[in-house]
């Protein structure tokens, strides 16, 4: 048992499909330049919609990621994004196949595009015209299933659905599979493709997404800013290859960082609103620090959940101050959702990748559109411009509808 507890888990692959680019270099370059991926929706006619903006993936061609046209026709977009990001992260099929390797992928909604399309077919053309492939295409576990089939991964293989914490939860579970010696390699992360009429209408009517910036989409996502009034819906996938350290060294894999701590809990308070005390989020951060054997002062950067909603940003700020005390004012805290929008179930995994890249490049990406200070949000949010700083340890926060809290801690690999 003692030997199993000493296993170290390292990151050996990174892949993104995102509103800021579909490869790591483009994505990171746009991120540190403060580029916004938010624009007018092109997927459908928004004439009758109050919200007309989102953070769409652009120039996505599945064939560039070893997904044939025929294969793509039988895959919901959320599965296509996951497969494409895995192909990029795996360095052109260099994932070693075998019975131990597996895939755990998070998604908040799953195949929403397929769900709405087939529902329309049912209403307009009748039950006999509904595709027999609809359920296998839309089910949330299609993404890890498709990845496992493509890469012959016969170990743990399932999906995680915990709203906006899904990606971080998936990474945590994959970490534990390796940490306890069940497997040596896991494909993990999150994927989401929610930019359809139903999602935009629902989030609009529940007053979760901003309605004020249709004419100024680049200004729409403004985490921690006093004039924030809702998030901007995004889409894409973030995939990490996690590996047991010795296994990675033996195959001469590139090691990007080490994952040293994970924690998750529940608010048990409300399905959409966070606990106003910040207790759940604070406890998750404290537990992650404990499992990583770190003091609060050893965190160099916090990649915040920072959704640009009035409640979330205020309560996350409160939770950070509860955990870090006076040191909270000294830690750079930024929300990259200001540029990517909110990818729901893929948010935590995309932000985990950003955390790793921050360590690799010693650069902290900014919170753009931070223009009006909020007295209740009074930390160092790295406003509007990336910052060069030695970054050795990063905490990444993810908090989801349902009261789900998940925290990851990454460290420079030594």
Domain containing residue 367: CATH number: 3.40.47.10
What is residue 100's predicted lDDT score, i.e. its pLDDT? 80
* Catalytic annotation present for 270: no
Please report whether residue 255 resides in a domain: no
332 shares its domain with 374? yes
307 shares its domain with 387? yes
For residue 181, is pLDDT > 80?
yes
What is residue 262's predicted lDDT score, i.e. its pLDDT? 97
Distance in angstroms (rounded) separating the CA atoms of residues 156 and 150:
15
373 shares its domain with 296? yes
114 shares its domain with 95? yes
* Pick from 350, 406, 407, 404: nearest CA to 163: 404
Q: What are phi and psi of 215, to 5 degrees?
A: -90, -10
Residue 273 corresponds to which tokens in the numbers above? 């609103």
Q: What are phi and psi of 229, to 5 degrees?
A: -150, 20
Q: Which of 229, 250, 271 is the last residue of a domain?
A: 250
Please report whether residue 24 resides in a domain: yes
58 shares its domain with 180? yes
Q: Say which residues have a Cβ less than 8 Å from residue 48's Cβ, sequence separation at least 6.
A: none
Residue 244 corresponds to which tokens in the numbers above? 């047991």
70 shares its domain with 161? yes
Length of the chain: 414
Lowest-confidence region among 64-73, 191-200, 345-354: 64-73
240 shares its domain with 286? no
CA 208 to chain centre: 18
93 shares its domain with 202? yes
* Catalytic annotation present for 342: yes
Please identify which of the residues 164, 247, 262, 377 carries the catalytic annotation: 164
Q: Which of 198, 229, 250 is the last residue of a domain?
A: 250
Q: Count CA atoms within 13 Å of residue 410 on its CB side.
A: 29
* Catalytic annotation present for 164: yes
For residue 3, is pLDDT > 80?
no
pLDDT tens for each residue of 38-73 = 999 999 999 999 999 999 999 999 999 999 999 999
For residue 4, is pLDDT > 90?
no
Print the SS3 string covering the chain.
CHHHHCCCEEEEEEEEEECCECCHHHHHHHHHHCCCCCEECCCCCCCCCCCCEEECCCCCCHHHHCCCHHHHHCCCHHHHHHHHHHHHHCCCCCCCCECCCEEEEECCCCCHHHHHHHHHHHHHHCHHHCCCCHHHHHCCCHHHHHHHHHHCECCCEEEECECECHHHHHHHHHHHHHHCCCCCEEEEEEEECCCCHHHHHHHHHCCCECCCCCCCHHHCCCCCCCCCCCECEECEEEEEEEEEHHHHHHCCCCCCEEEEEEEEEECCCCCCCCCCCCHHHHHHHHHHHHHCCCCHHHCCEEECCCCCCHHHHHHHHHHHHHHHHHHHHHCEEECCHHHHCECHHHHHHHHHHHHHHHHHHCEECCECCCCCCECCECCECCECCCEECCCCEEEEEEEECCCEEEEEEEECCC
Portion of the chain with pLDDT greater than 70, in percent: 97
pLDDT tens for each residue of 270-310 = 988 999 999 999 999 999 999 999 999 999 999 999 999 99
What is residue 218's predicted lDDT score, i.e. its pLDDT? 98
334 shares its domain with 269? yes
Please identify which of the residues 169, 247, 305, 404 carries the catalytic annotation: 305
- Radius of gyration in angstroms for the set of CA atoms belonging to the chain, rounded to a whole number: 20
Please report whether residue 407 resides in a domain: yes
Q: Count CA atoms within 13 Å of residue 383 on its CB side.
A: 12
323 shares its domain with 178? no
Please identify which of the residues 169, 247, 342, 404 carries the catalytic annotation: 342
Q: Which of 224, 250, 276 is the last residue of a domain?
A: 250
- Domains contained in the chain, number: 2
* Pick from 79, 392, 96: nearest CA to 251: 96
Distance in angstroms (rounded) separating the CA atoms of residues 85 and 102:
16
Find the domain containing 371 and state its range.
Answer: 261-411
Please report whether residue 2 resides in a domain: no
308 shares its domain with 229? no
Please report whether residue 150 resides in a domain: yes
Please report whether residue 324 resides in a domain: yes
What is residue 6's predicted lDDT score, i.e. its pLDDT? 72
Please report whether residue 3 resides in a domain: no
Please report whether residue 119 resides in a domain: yes
197 shares its domain with 285? no
For residue 95, is pLDDT > 70?
no
pLDDT tens for each residue of 313-326 = 999 999 999 999 99
């Amino acid at each position: 048992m003692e030997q199993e507890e000493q296993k170290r888990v390292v990151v050996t692959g990174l892949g993104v499909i995102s509103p800021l680019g579909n490869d790591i270099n483009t994505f990171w370059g746009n991120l540190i330049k403060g580029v916004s991926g938010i624009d007018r929706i092109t997927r459908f006619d928004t004439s009758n919609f109050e919200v007309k903006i989102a953070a769409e993936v652009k120039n996505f061609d599945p064939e560039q990621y070893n997904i044939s046209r025929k294969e793509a026709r039988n895959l919901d977009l959320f599965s296509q994004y996951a497969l494409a990001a895995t192909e990029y992260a795996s360095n052109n099929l260099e994932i070693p196949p075998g019975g131990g390797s597996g895939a755990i992928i998070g998604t908040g909604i799953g195949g929403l595009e397929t769900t709405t399309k087939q529902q329309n077919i049912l209403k307009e053309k009748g039950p006999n015209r509904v595709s027999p492939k609809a359920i296998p295409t839309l089910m949330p576990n299609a993404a890890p299933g498709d990845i496992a089939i493509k890469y012959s991964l016969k170990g743990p293989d399932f999906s995680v659905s915990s709203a906006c914490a899904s990606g971080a939860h998936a990474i945590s579970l994959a970490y534990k599979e390796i940490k306890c010696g069940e497997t040596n390699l896991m494909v993990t992360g999150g994927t989401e493709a929610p930019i359809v009429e139903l999602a935009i209408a629902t989030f609009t009517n529940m007053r979760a997404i901003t309605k004020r910036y249709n004419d100024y989409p680049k200004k729409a996502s403004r985490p921690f800013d006093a004039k924030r009034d809702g998030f901007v819906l995004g889409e894409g996938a973030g995939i990490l290859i996690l590996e047991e350290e010795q296994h990675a060294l033996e195959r001469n894999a590139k090691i990007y960082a080490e994952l040293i701590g994970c924690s998750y809990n529940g608010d048990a308070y409300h399905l959409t609103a966070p606990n106003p005390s910040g207790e759940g989020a604070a406890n998750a951060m404290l537990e992650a620090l404990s499992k990583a054997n770190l003091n609060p002062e050893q965190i160099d950067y916090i990649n915040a959940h920072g959704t640009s909603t009035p409640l979330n940003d205020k309560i996350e700020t409160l939770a950070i101050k509860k955990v870090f005390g006076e040191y909270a004012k000294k830690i750079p805290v930024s929300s990259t959702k200001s540029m990517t929008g909110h990818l729901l179930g893929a948010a935590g995994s995309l932000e985990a990748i950003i955390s790793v890249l921050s360590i690799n490049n010693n650069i902290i990406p900014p919170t753009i559109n931070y223009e009006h200070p909020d007295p209740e949000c009074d930390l160092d949010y790295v406003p509007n411009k990336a910052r060069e700083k030695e970054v050795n340890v990063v905490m990444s926060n993810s908090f989801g509808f349902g009261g789900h809290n998940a925290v990851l801690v990454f460290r420079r690999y030594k």
